[in-house]
Amino acid sequence: MILSNPAHISKIKFVQSIAACSVAAGLVLGHFPGLMSLGAVLLFLCGLLLNNAKDWKNNIYIAFALYWFWQLISGLWCDDIPEWQLEVTRKISFILIPAGLIVCNAQLVKSVLTTFCLAVLLVAISSVVNYFIHYDEINIQITKSVGMPIVSGLSHIYFSIFNGLVVLICFHLWRNSLGKQKMWLAASIILLVCLHILSSRTGLAAFYITLFLLLIQLVVVKKQWKTALLLGLTAILIPIGGYYTSTSFKNRIDNTVEDMDHYFNGKYLNYYSISMRFEAWKICWKVFEEHPVIGVGVSDLPNTMTTHYDTKKIGPEVRLQEAHNQYLEQLACLGIIGLLSLIFILYTIIKGRGSSFLALSVIGIFGSAFLFESVLESHNGIAAFALFGALVVGSKK
């Protein structure tokens, strides 16, 4: 630690809290991307001033640093160097953000979680209101696999992931608040309703997979059979009720069934997002088979996929230029080593705080979302994973 004066340390910790909250708010407020960048830089500077030599050896920071370093090294075999430079620069958040959160107290954690929850709640409610204002138009778009518009300008996929996470965070804040503050329970319920009305498949799938993992913990680890049974029945009844009460949710389910039918029965795939994902997954697996150890590099996957699309004579309207699956993205771009670098981060979070509800929620949501989206190929996904991964491990409580 560079600083020794308690007054100076207190001021830096205040800046640390502001910086972390700026990142949390910037994740949701898509029209203000500078909040994330500024917050990330400030967090790194705070880390330089607050961390001692031992802190920099923290396992979660090492895990994020190794992940970014392998992206950097891939420039040795990338063909598209300008794009590689953009990728490495975008993912520098894996170095900047965790640096300021290696050691953080409970108050900082609560401040960040509160900021994130309030931002998501505000945007979720506003987006639902916007949906009802443009009810007919948006419902027609849903039947065509178009995502629900989010008023903050954030992608509907990423917002749904954050929405699902915040349902669980609000529940966590309610359980751990003095006197069980009902506002957090109310926020959790409201956001659960918003999650289904906004009806993005990635967020919904990630939420329910995470809920299933939490139920397993209740049964296997905590032996709370009755609670697990009650929550399990609730988890079954909510989507059933949603199908019959929410037009947007029903349309999304019906569109998903139609999408699957088109793929498995060889029908036209144009603009059917799940079918297009399946094709992208097959191609990315083929790319991995051709480059199993180190992949094609972080910048060369789109061009490599285009070559395979051309070989299979798949039209441009059906083509995706990334895997839309983070695990396959790692294999295709960075080989087995790249996948292991991602798994090491997940393992480090589990090992560091695996028994806590918050850590399991973060691991469950992101680990599940990685199955359906290349989350770590966007600035918001990178910053969110770095923020919450470091936060839950760095917290002392």
- The pLDDT score that the predictor gives to residue 268 is 60
Average pLDDT over residues 155-172: 95
Q: Which has the higher per-residue pLDDT, 302 or 128?
A: 128
- Which amino acid would we find at residue 326? Q
Q: Which has the higher per-residue pLDDT, 114 or 396?
A: 114
Flag whether 303 is in a domain.
no
Flag whether 280 is in a domain.
no
Flag whether 229 is in a domain.
yes
Q: How many domains does the chain have?
A: 1
Residue 148 has pLDDT above 60, yes or no: yes
Residue 324 has which token pair? 């839309």
Flag whether 79 is in a domain.
yes
- The pLDDT score that the predictor gives to residue 287 is 94
List the domain range (segments joined by +) for residue 120: 6-261+319-394
Flag whether 268 is in a domain.
no
Q: How far apart are CA 357 and CA 331, in angstroms?
A: 30
Q: How far apart are CA 250 and CA 263, in angstroms?
A: 20
Which of 85-89, 176-180, 225-229 reaches the highest mean pLDDT? 85-89
Average pLDDT in the chain: 89
Residue 378's pLDDT band (boundaries 50, 70, 90)? very high
- The pLDDT score that the predictor gives to residue 347 is 93
Residue 397 has pLDDT above 60, yes or no: no
- Alpha helices (runs of H) in 91-134, residue ranges in sequence order: 93-99, 106-133
Residue 396 has pLDDT above 60, yes or no: no
Flag whether 312 is in a domain.
no
Flag whether 278 is in a domain.
no
Flag whether 89 is in a domain.
yes
Q: Are 91 and 71 in contact (CB under 8 A)?
A: yes
Q: DSSP character for 146?
A: P
Q: Which residues contact 323 (CB under 8 A, 6 or more apart)?
A: 280, 281, 284, 301, 329, 332, 374
Residue 87 has pLDDT above 60, yes or no: yes
Q: Which long-range contacts (CB under 8 A, 24 or more apart) does 81-85 make?
A: 81/299, 82/299, 83/299, 83/300, 84/297, 84/298, 84/299
- The pLDDT score that the predictor gives to residue 188 is 94
pLDDT digits (tens, 9 = 90+) for 226-276: 878 888 888 899 999 999 999 999 999 998 888 787 777 766 655 567 778
pLDDT digits (tens, 9 = 90+) for 313-336: 676 656 677 889 999 999 999 999
Residue 220 has pLDDT above 70, yes or no: yes
Percent of the chain residues past pLDDT 70, beyond the cut: 94
| Residue 267 Rama label (left phi>0; alpha psi -120 to 50; beta) | beta
pLDDT digits (tens, 9 = 90+) for 42-62: 999 999 998 887 888 888 999
Residue 91 has pLDDT above 90, yes or no: yes
